[in-house]
Amino acid sequence: MSPKKNPLRKRTEFGAYLTRLREERARLSAAQAARDLGFNNRQRLDNYEIGPTIPPDSVLIEMARLYRVAPDEILRRAHWPQLVLLPLVSIIDPEQLTRDIIQEIEQGLHRAERQKLTECITEIIRERK
């Protein structure tokens, strides 16, 4: 069964982003993109597009070139949880963080969840003034 049809594999938000870039920006099939990226077969690309595997930075930069998007955009999207949430975790009481919460942070949050987090932080800052 192909990974895209396997109901046990859940597409990550970042994987869906990579697929949109490939299909909408570059208008490439998965097979063509895999060849252009120098992969031996399509399975490696499928693992990145379906997730949870994040490509190494060197592959992300090649994808950015191939998909006609700025490298910093694709790198920022790939590393968003680490760039934004992990420094935030450093100011939160680590005793309060369960392994599940840490895993969720590492996987990233959806746009609505990021907005809610931003609103909570903004409210805390407002209350301090």
With beta carbons less than 8 A apart as the criterion, state whether 89 and 105 touch: yes
pLDDT in tens, 71-121: 988 888 887 666 666 666 667 776 777 777 766 766 666 777 777 877 888
| Across 43-53, average pLDDT | 87
CA-nearest of 56, 62, 6 to 34 is 62
CA distance 111 to 57: 23
pLDDT of 122 reads 82
* Helical segments of 51-110, H only: 57-67, 71-78, 80, 86-89, 99-107
Q: Who wins on pLDDT, 115 or 2?
A: 115
Mean of pLDDT values over 64-71: 94
Domains of the chain: 3-78 (1.10.260.40), 80-128 (no CATH)
Could you report the per-residue pLDDT of 14-46, keeping only the tens digit for each? 888 999 999 999 999 999 999 999 999 899 999
Q: What is the pTM of this model?
A: 0.60
